Chain A
């Protein structure tokens, strides 16, 4: 009788406990949110480039002018530690795939006063693929960015194959570049 009385409160506590543990273990929920662009056309991107890229790519980069090329669009900020972690990986893959027609684009964003800090970041890693500045985070919003770093992998038809949240790894780069060039 006593046990029967305790059954409902015990079941309720067990249910709440299970939900609590599930909540703790499911990790960062924001990372599970897929981009609305996934499987759809990537948005446009027009931005002023840092000086070091202007001789080769011009003062402004418009990805529409590179339509038909697979693209890796990486969003970063000079204050973001994981961006330091992924920068050498991006440069390494750019060096490897530069001649296969893939375009890498870097966007320094969510850093209103960070133009000079971005220039130092680019020099530190010697990034040779075009990088520009998004001072008011307008490009960030257009691309539905949550934070930095985030990287979009876009195939030759302009369709977004993946939005990777967090620093890219060689595994992610290998897998996505293979899919993009298929």
Chain B
């Protein structure tokens, strides 16, 4: 057996190594591109498309939304943070451009109101439930005439419809 590599084998080995290296580099570049695109859409999701109705910049195919995504991408490549990019659009459009209103000033109403309403609703439901439970436990008041009418309608004997509060036989 020949202990030395033949030139043919050597060439093949080099080619395989180069191909593998290229595949790794291409994969890394692709992964980086996908990661960048994901970040672009993450930021775009927080911005309102100016020319659309209730659509974010990430969902819209309007020319202005496409341009806004391009601006986001350029600024990300330049190394700007998410906050800086959002502020860029905010200085041009005001708070309106943000789909999540900022947690300050009058915008706090949008954040706090659902919580306040939720707490109130739970309180009201709890209060009503307590009242319903108390009512269900209270013995039913019925006059002897009403009892007689029920017995008549049910066609039962007096033992099957007990006096209220005495506990019926099931």
Contact = CB atoms under 8 A, between A and B. Distances in A.
- Main secondary structure, interface of A, reads loop
B96 A33 contact: yes
A38 to B, nearest CB: 10
Nearest to B49: A146
Contacts of A36: 91-94
A142 B92 contact: yes
Interface string A25-62: 00000000110100000010000000000000000000
Contacts of B91: 36
A140 B64 contact: yes
Chain B binding site: helix, strand, loop or mixed by DSSP? helix
A144 B62 CA distance: 15
Interface string A47-82: 000000000000000000000000000000000000
Nearest to B96: A33
A43 B91 CA distance: 11
Contacts of A142: 92
Interface stretch (B16-24, B38-46, B66-74, B132-140): B66-74
A136 interface: yes
Looking at A111, A138, A141, A147, which has the most chain B CB atoms within 10 Å of its CB?
Answer: A141
A144 B94 CA distance: 8
B51 A110 contact: yes
A110 B66 CA distance: 10
What is the interface residue range for chain B against chain A? 10 to 19
Nearest to B90: A36
Nearest to B67: A137
A143 B92 contact: yes
Nearest to B94: A36
B50 interface: yes
A141 B68 contact: yes
Contacts of B50: 144-147
B155 interface: no
B92 A144 contact: yes
B79 interface: no
Nearest to B124: A8
B63 interface: yes
Contacts of A110: 51, 62-64
Contacts of A144: 50, 92-94
Contacts of B94: 33-34, 36, 144
A112 interface: yes
A137 B64 contact: yes
Interface string A133-164: 00011101111111100000000000000000
Interface string A5-30: 00000000000000000000000000
Contacts of A136: 63, 67, 70
Interface of B: 50-51, 62-64, 66-68, 70-71, 89, 91-94, 96
Given A43-B92, A144-B94, 4 more contacts: A140-B64, A141-B68, A141-B92, A142-B92
6 contacts: A36-B94, A43-B92, A112-B66, A141-B89, A143-B92, A144-B94
| 7 tightest Cβ-Cβ pairs between the two chains A and B | A144-B92, A137-B67, A137-B64, A36-B94, A144-B93, A146-B50, A112-B63
